[in-house]
Amino acid sequence: MTFTKILVRKNIENLSAYVSGKPIEEVQRELGLESIVKLASNENPYGCSPLAKESMLIEMEQTSFYPEGMAPSLAEKLARKLNIKQDNIILGNGSDEVIRLLTRTYIQQDDEVIMADVTFPRYETNVLIDGGTPVKIPLINGVHDLQGMYEAITEKTRMIFVCNPNNPTGTIVQKEKLRSFIEKVPKHILLIVDEAYYEYVEDEEYLETLPFLNTHSNLVILRTFSKIYGLAALRIGYGLMDVSIIQELIKVKEPFNTNRLAQAAAFASLDDPTFVAQCARKNEEGRRYLENELSEMGLTFFPSHANFIMVKLNHPGRYVFEELLKQGVIIRSGHLLGYENTIRVTIGTPLENERFIKSLQNVINKTLST
């Protein structure tokens, strides 16, 4: 018997690989530039807490030993901080892994999963990998259409994703609308609220979802140490949910999914609320600067409550991305994110923000002169 090709699962035949923000090292190799500003992946430009760095150095002495599989010390500390039970917390290799655990555990062939049409792409990818069918509801002015999502529920619906603030638009769902939505979603459907950018939000219209864990056993809340805590490279996030869900996820979780350095750094980061507050304040100042400068340039953008801004353009985002890249500024093109004529820029340090604005002005001036 002769085989000409090793067959892959039909579920992934048409999947595209995830395209991450270009690394600084790659741009340096490709363009020969020395000075690069990366504002593409919503990373914390201020790094991580000094306490986290110190804890990692100490933990280096233990790298020959496997970590504890459920990160109990970190889970216990998180539980005290959030005033919830430790049994309601599961740690993941980034919150991405918790998403993967959820679809792997609960999605079967042809099950439907509701999500926004422009949101974090890993929801759709993981649903497709596990044989499910994404049901995508268009955003309204960059905001989740919760009523449209509710009306899309069918007997096949097993899961709903709400990204709040939404990536890539940075918008939030109005407090009372989300509260009503949580109350209305049938209890046999998992409602996953992704709050990766939770710590950046300052708007009073943002709903605090934690209290609903006690009364809604179908609610899952996702958070991460990758963003404001500055631990993106260590890959550690967490899910908050009913213990009955966690007991099922554990069955498919890798034994040592979060490494020792990540656990130690996250544990120490929780002891430095001053660092988090400073990062939130600097991010707010940077957001206001960028919004003012963009408005002066005649550009509009979605109202962001995160550490990035999605800018609307009169030109394809891919073109602006490539032109900015030539100037050593890495951002994200909207064609990868669901809106062709946009770019998404991470809010950086004051110097990085100024460089982005100057470079963007150069691109626009060049376009107007041709």
Give the tens place of pLDDT for each residue, 234-293. Answer: 999 999 999 999 999 999 999 999 999 999 999 999 999 999 999 999 999 999 999 999
User: What's the pLDDT score for residue 369?
Assistant: 62
Is there a domain that residue 46 lies in?
Answer: no
- CATH code of 106's domain: 3.40.640.10
4 lies in some domain: no
Question: CA-CA distance, 163 to 173, in Å (whole number)?
Answer: 9
Number of domains in the chain: 2
Structural domain contains residue 2: no
- Distance between CA atoms of residues 202 and 99, nearest Å: 26
Contact 204, 177 (CB under 8 A): no
| CB neighbour burial string for 23-32, b if at least 16 within 10 angstroms, e if fewer | ebeebeeeee
Contacts of 199 (CB under 8 A, 6+ apart): 227, 228, 276, 280
Q: Please, are residues 310 and 263 in contact by the beta-carbon 8 Å criterion?
A: no
- Six-digit token pair at 291? 């919004």
For the record, the structure tokens of 74 come out as 């970190």
Q: Are residues 307 and 363 located together in one domain of the fold?
A: yes
Q: Is residue 351 domain-resident?
A: yes
On whether both 256 and 279 belong to a single domain, the answer is: no
Q: Domain end: 218, 247, 269, which one? A: 269
Residue ranges in the chain modelled with pLDDT below 50: none
Q: What is the pLDDT of residue 117?
A: 97
Please count the CA atoms within 13 angstroms of the CA of 337 that sit on its side-chain side: 31
For residues 29 and 65, state if they share a domain: no
Q: Which domain holds residue 333?
A: 11-40+274-368
Q: Does 152 share its domain with 208?
A: yes
Q: What is the CATH number of the domain that holds 279?
A: 3.90.1150.10
Domain end residue (candidates: 248, 269, 290): 269
Q: What is the pLDDT of residues 63-101, one digit of tens each?
A: 999 999 999 999 999 999 999 999 999 999 999 999 999
Domain match, 101 and 78 both: yes
Residues 85 and 170 in one domain: yes
Last residue of a domain, one of 253, 269, 285: 269
**Predicted local distance difference test score (pLDDT) of residue 200:** 98
User: Does a structural domain hold residue 3?
Assistant: no
